[in-house]
Amino acid sequence: MSRIGKKPIVAPKGVQWTVSGQKVEAKGPKGVRSFTATDDVTITLDGDTISVKPRGESKRARQQWGMTRTQIANLAQGVTEGFKKELDIVGVGYRAQVAGKVLKLSLGYSHDVDYAIPDGVDIKCAKPTEIEITGADQQQVGQVAAEIRDWRRPEPYKGKGVRYRGEFIFRKEGKKK
């Protein structure tokens, strides 16, 4: 039994659900998001509550049960609150700034890195060493954060690079004479 899958999803204020077959659509203040579930689960809408049930006792049906419920709950959170990732830049001369739909990163290369901000994602730089990524799609926000971090991952000796806020970097000791 899926402990997550058993819980019904109650729509927060301002969210309208639309269920047609295996497709669930949520409309809210931050936009419209949809999710299409596999045929292994049954989705039912009762007022402002959605419940998910497996269609059989197969292992795949039970796996999809909890995952589908979580994806639908993420739709509701995305169209009301949104998702946020924060990055910190550590290093002398390393900085970031937003110019229109482009994030300009100075990360110690001979040139600045220009990262085109995709639609549906908002990037802010309150300080030159802090990046805040927000959006309605959890997967897209996480993907953008990972792509920015990949330009200069934190290294273990001095800790320089782009890291997630609160991320622990295992530090190594340098050479000894």
* pLDDT tens, residue by residue, 86-125: 999 999 999 999 999 999 999 999 999 999 999 989 999 9
Query: What's the pLDDT band for 1 if we cut at 50, 70, 90?
Result: low
- Please say which residue of 80, 101, 126 terminates a domain: 80
Based on the domain organization, do 75 and 87 belong to the same domain? no
Number of domains in the chain: 2
pLDDT of amino acid 2:
67
Residue with more model confidence, 84 or 2? 84
pLDDT in tens, 26-40: 998 988 999 999 999
Query: Is the confidence at residue 63, as pLDDT, over 70?
Result: yes
Q: Residue 94: how many CB atoms within 10 A of its CB?
A: 17
Whether residues 94 and 141 fall in one domain: yes
Q: Which domain holds residue 108?
A: 83-164
List the strands of the sheet with 9-10, edge to edge: 9-10, 49-54, 41-46
> Same structural domain for residues 43 and 27?
yes
Contacts of residue 140, defined as CB under 8 A and 6 or more positions apart, other chains included, come to 118, 120, 121
- What pTM, to 2 d.p., does this model score? 0.85
pLDDT value, residue 6:
86
Query: Span 2-24, mean pLDDT?
Result: 87
Instruction: Note the pLDDT of residue 5.
Output: 83
Q: Does position 150 have pLDDT exceeding 90, yes or no?
A: yes
